[in-house]
Structure 1
């Protein structure tokens, strides 16, 4: 059994989605998986999102709240970060570690419980591959809906290594949900939702990102 089976509650097929319900185990696995570079990787993601002081930020699929906690001091006490995840266990873990300007709620990316135009920035890291494939376009449309005009989006996904052996090893450890090429995983869902794509590409630590704005 791979480590992914221990961490993820997935159906047999990755395209049917799933949740992570073991936050402490996930934190250990993430530290190992990033080879000690998790903080550096998520600092790069935060910088790519271009947060600003006073921003209202939504982190979709926030998990244990790691990226939220990186963003919180950047948006300053005048801003606020809201994390959302379908797993109550992850939300409980994140809430216990929340800075003063972070809150966390249980919810699904494809049915965001927020009014239109509520946020200046929406981020989602290593979360889309957990959503059922048929729900992914709706989730990105929801991200569009809750952003104000001119608001920004950053989606980051895992980028499997190029080598066949390394790719096989990663797949064996993490399970089928993380074997997809992120370009295939995301496809055209970002522009199809109405966003204008500004940049996309690879980042260190096997990450891939798309940055876009709502016109």
Structure 2
């Protein structure tokens, strides 16, 4: 069994990377995987969301809540960051560290438990590859549904590393869930859901980011 697989629940998401249910082990792996640059990387991702004071943000596949805590100061006390994740242990870990303007719910990206047009920004970081292949398009459609018209989407996923060490690390962590590559997959799924893609960015060392808007 691969290291990454040991953190997942393969019975529910056998076609993807699977939900993760071991928050402390995940935190250790994330720090190692980002080679001590996790905070810098996620600060860059937060900036790419375009989040502003007072915004309502949804973090799909929030995991331990790391990104939502980075986003919290950007929206300030009048804004709010909501995290959703299918794993109760991950949500529990996030709740135990939540700032006042963050909250968390158990739920799946392909069936988001929120009304239409509830958020100004939707962000999803390293979550789509954990979803079953057949559910990924549905999940991005759900992100469109819960965004207000004109709202902003940012999806950050693994890109195929050119460095041999990082390529091996990604293969160990996520295995076959990365085929086809996430940049290729997102290039199809995001516009197919109805988003207008505004651009893509690489955040070193591992991330490919897609910026998009829900049309007015």
TM, length-normalised to structure 2: 0.93
For residues 151-207 of structure 1, what are the alpha-carbon distances to aligned partners after superposition, in whole Å with 9 as ceiling and x for unaligned? 000000011312567524531354332465222332411111111000113111210
Q: SS where residue 82 of structure 1 aligns?
A: strand
Cα distance, 1:134 vs. partner? Answer: 0.6
Q: Distance in 2 between matches of 1:187 and 1:14?
A: 23
Aligned residue in 1 for 2:177: 177
Q: Distance in 2 between matches of 1:165 and 1:180?
A: 20
1:212 aligns with 2:209: no
Q: Which moved more, 1:75-84 or 1:4-13?
A: 4-13
Aligned residue in 1 for 2:146: 146
Question: Which consecutive residues of structure 1, in runs of 5 or more, have no partner in the other structure?
Answer: none
Report if the CA contact (8 A) 2:155-2:209 is conserved.
yes
Structure-2 change in CA distance of 1:202 and 1:17 (3 Å): same
Report if the CA contact (8 A) 1:160-1:181 is conserved.
yes
Aligned residue in 1 for 2:49: 49
Q: How many residues align?
A: 215
Cα distance, 1:15 vs. partner? Answer: 3.2
1:159 aligns with 2:131: no
1:119 aligns with 2:116: no
For residues 117-147 of structure 1, what are the alpha-carbon distances to aligned partners after superposition, in whole Å with 9 as ceiling and x for unaligned? 1000000000000001110111111100100
TM, length-normalised to structure 1: 0.93
For residues 81-117 of structure 1, what are the alpha-carbon distances to aligned partners after superposition, in whole Å with 9 as ceiling and x for unaligned? 0000000000000000000000000000010111111
Q: Distance in 1 between matches of 2:46 and 2:93?
A: 21
Q: Which moved more, 1:14-23 or 1:44-53?
A: 14-23
Aligned residue in 1 for 2:137: 137
Structure-2 change in CA distance of 1:162 and 1:12 (3 Å): farther
Report if the CA contact (8 A) 1:11-1:17 is conserved.
no
For residues 19-76 of structure 1, what are the alpha-carbon distances to aligned partners after superposition, in whole Å with 9 as ceiling and x for unaligned? 0000000000101111100000000100111100000000000000000000001100
